[in-house]
Amino acid sequence: MNYPLRFSPFLRPMVWGGRRLGDVLGKTLPTGEAYGESWEVSDHPQHRSVVAGGPLQGRTLQELMREHRRELLGTAAEKYTTFPWLIKFLDAGDWLSVQVHPDEEAVRWLWPGEGSKTEAWYVVDAAPGSRVYAGLRPGVGPARLLAAVKAGNVTECLHSFEPRPGDCVFLPAGTVHAVGGGVLMAEVQQTSDATFRLFDWDRKDAEGRSRTLHLAESLACVHWTSGPVAPVRAEAGRGETVLVECPYFRLEHLLRAEPFRCGGAGRLQAVIVVAGRGRWRFPGGEEAFAAGETWVLPASLPAGECRPEGPVTLLAATLPE
Catalytic center residues: 197
CA distance 291 to 57: 21
> Dihedral angle at the C-alpha atoms of 225, 185, 189, 192, nearest 10 degrees?
100
Interacting residues of 234 by C-beta distance below 8 A, sequence separation 6+:
166, 168, 241, 243, 253, 255
Half-sphere exposure of 188 (CA within 13 A, CB side): 30
Return the bridge partners of 110, or none.
Answer: none
Question: Nearest CA to 254 among 298, 289, 302?
Answer: 289
Q: Do 131 and 232 meet the contact criterion of CB atoms below 8 Å apart?
A: no
Q: Do 138 and 145 meet the contact criterion of CB atoms below 8 Å apart?
A: no
CA separation, residue 124 to residues 96, 181, 274 (Å): 17, 14, 7
Q: Are strands 85-92 and 294-297 parallel, antiparallel or unpaired?
A: unpaired
Q: Do 116 and 102 meet the contact criterion of CB atoms below 8 Å apart?
A: yes
What distance lies between CA 230 and its chain's CA centroid? 17
Question: Nearest CA to 124 among 308, 251, 273, 277?
Answer: 273
The DSSP line for 205-262 is -TTSPPPPP-HHHHHHH--TTS-----EEPPTT-SEEEEEE-SS-EEEEEEESS-EEE
